[in-house]
């Protein structure tokens, strides 16, 4: 059973309370090592202290990957599971984990209930069974496990596998958020904006956006960045603070943050201009498949901003963006100015782009 891809669609622009602004040290704005392009492309050097970016949550529901990642949160299921149960799950021995956890779950162990629910929900080692997953999430939520409360809240909001109950869903989401679940914090903020679109709801939402952002959720970091970038409800915009939050989200491969950060670096918005770093972030987002980044990268190549001018490379990236449905009149003019041989070269290059 997949939870909804995103609980509430757009990140709202909410009011930022000045008391929540945090002073952070200067940070290297260059992409991490894996973002550096091949040697033939003039690009920014990697920051030696830049952390390797983990996979982006991508969505507010953050469905877990098929294989638990290294550094998997051992507290996610509530109380610590016995090492043999959790170890089997972490190693991908799902059927073994299920067989060990099920008797414990049936005996009332909240952590085992949550694990069984997740195994059923994702079909790990057993046949996917959404009905069983819902039942076990409900039991684990009633037993007080924050992760289960968050998952069951999403189920109640979705209304597909359980009767929709917005009131109960809000209560569970609030409880999970207050217990420190960062996904619940982000989604609760979205719910508060939806329920109370005025200043009071915005200020309450900001509290939970910041909590989720401080906990490292890229969605929330980008949301906080947008809050500071735009200002709301009489609160002045703070562009340097916005840029700091965008950098944090960008380092987690949140592609929209990468595009915005790249643009700000090229323009010198919210801090010093750094075209080479801006080019590097735009390239990273473009390689990740962001169509807007591919188009903007094309312009950076054509204009030679942050990289040596290369009209063919720029045309190639624009061809990739155009194949995805994006049309840019500036780049169309560039394409019309190419010779037949150059156009052929650009197409061939576009076919080889990562």
Is pLDDT of 201 > 80? yes
- DSSP assignment of 77-97 equals TSSPPPHHHHHHHHTT-HHHH
Q: Is 131 helix (H, G, I), strand (E, B) or coil?
A: helix
How many whole angstroms from its chain centre is CA 221? Answer: 9
User: Which DSSP letter does residue 19 get?
Assistant: G
Q: How far apart are CA 252 and CA 54, in angstroms?
A: 6
CB 281 within 8 A of CB 250: yes
pLDDT of 56 strictly over 60: no
pLDDT at 146 over 90: yes
Q: Which of 300, 280, 286, 293 is nearest to 354 (CA)?
A: 286
DSSP letters along 178-210, please? Answer: HTT-HHHHHHHHHHHHHH--SHHHHHHHHHHHH
pLDDT tier for residue 16 given thresholds of 50, 70 and 90 = very low
Return the sign of the alpha-carbon dihedral for residues 8, 14, 19, 20.
positive
**Rounded percentage of the chain residues whose pLDDT exceeds 90:** 69
* CA pair distance 189, 7, nearest whole angstrom: 11
CATH number of 255-354: 1.25.40.10
pLDDT band at 135 (very low <50, low <70, confident <90, very high): very high
pLDDT tens for each residue of 216-228 = 999 999 999 999 9
Give pLDDT, residue 239.
96
Place of tokens 């982006």: 56
Alpha-carbon gap, residue 88 to 86, rounded angstroms? 5
CB 259 within 8 A of CB 296: yes
Q: Is pLDDT at 4 greater than 70 in this prediction?
A: no
* pLDDT bracket for residue 354 (50, 70, 90): confident
User: What pLDDT is stored for residue 55 in this prediction?
Assistant: 32
What digits encode the pLDDT tens for the residues 79-107?
Answer: 677 788 888 998 999 999 999 999 999 99
Rounded to whole angstroms, how far apart are CA atoms 255 and 56? 9
Sorted by sequence, the CB contacts under 8 Å of residue 50 that are 6+ apart come out as 28, 30, 31, 32, 33, 251
Question: What DSSP character marks residue 55?
Answer: P
| Distance, CA of 100 to CA of 290 (rounded, Å) | 43
pLDDT of residue 196: 87
135, two tokens: 């039942």
Alpha-carbon distance of 47 to 45, in angstroms, equals 6
In contact, 213 and 224? CB cutoff 8 Å: yes
Q: In this structure, are residues 284 and 35 in contact, taking their beta carbons and an 8 Å threshold? A: yes
- Quote the CA–CA distance of 263 and 74 in Å, as a whole number: 38
**CA 200 to chain CA mean position, Å:** 26
Query: What is the C-alpha separation between 78 and 109, in angstroms, rounded?
Result: 10
pLDDT of residue 74: 52
Q: What angle do CA 212, 218, 224 make, to 5 degrees?
A: 65
- Taking the CA atoms of residue 252, residue 286, residue 329 and residue 336 in that order, the dihedral angle to the nearest 10 degrees is 170
Average pLDDT over residues 292-303: 98
Provide the pLDDT for residue 199: 81
Place 197 in a pLDDT band, splitting at 50, 70 and 90: confident
Cα atoms found within 13 Å of the Cα of residue 286, Cβ hemisphere only: 31
Q: Take residue 283 and report the two structure tokens written for it.
A: 């390239």
Give the tens place of pLDDT for each residue, 179-188.
Answer: 999 999 999 9
Q: Return mean pLDDT, the chain.
A: 81
């Amino acid at each position: 059973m997949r939870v909804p891809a995103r609980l509430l669609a757009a990140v709202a622009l909410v009011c930022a309370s000045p008391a929540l602004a945090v002073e952070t040290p200067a940070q290297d704005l260059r992409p991490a090592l894996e973002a550096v392009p091949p040697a033939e492309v003039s690009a920014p050097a990697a920051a030696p202290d830049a952390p390797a970016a983990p996979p982006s949550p991508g969505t507010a529901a953050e469905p877990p990957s098929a294989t638990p990642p290294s550094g998997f949160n051992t507290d996610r299921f509530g109380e610590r599971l016995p090492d043999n149960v959790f170890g089997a799950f972490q190693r991908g021995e799902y059927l073994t984990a299920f067989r060990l956890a099920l008797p414990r779950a049936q005996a009332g162990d909240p952590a085992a209930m949550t694990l069984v629910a997740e195994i059923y929900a994702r079909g790990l080692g057993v046949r996917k069974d959404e009905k069983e997953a819902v039942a076990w999430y409900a039991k684990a939520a009633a037993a007080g496990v924050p992760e289960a409360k968050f998952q069951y809240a999403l189920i109640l909001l979705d209304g597909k596998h359980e009767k929709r109950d917005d009131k109960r869903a809000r209560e569970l989401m609030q409880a999970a958020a207050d217990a420190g679940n960062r996904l619940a914090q982000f989604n609760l903020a979205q719910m508060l904006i939806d329920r109370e679109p005025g200043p009071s709801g915005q200020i309450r939402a900001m509290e939970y956006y910041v909590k989720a952002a401080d906990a490292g959720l890229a969605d929330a970091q980008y949301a906080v960045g947008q809050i500071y970038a735009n200002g709301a409800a009489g609160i002045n915009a703070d562009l340097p603070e916005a840029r700091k939050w965008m950098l944090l989200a960008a380092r987690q491969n949140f592609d929209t943050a990468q595009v915005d950060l790249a643009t700000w670096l090229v323009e010198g918005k919210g801090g010093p201009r750094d075209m080479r770093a801006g080019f590097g972030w735009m390239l990273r987002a473009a390689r990740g498949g962001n169509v807007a980044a591919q188009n903007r990268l094309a312009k950076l190549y054509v204009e030679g901003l942050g990289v040596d001018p290369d009209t063919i490379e720029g045309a190639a990236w624009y061809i990739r963006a155009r194949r995805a449905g994006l049309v840019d009149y500036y780049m169309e003019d560039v394409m019309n100015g190419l010779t037949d041989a150059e156009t052929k070269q650009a197409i061939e290059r576009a076919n080889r782009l990562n």
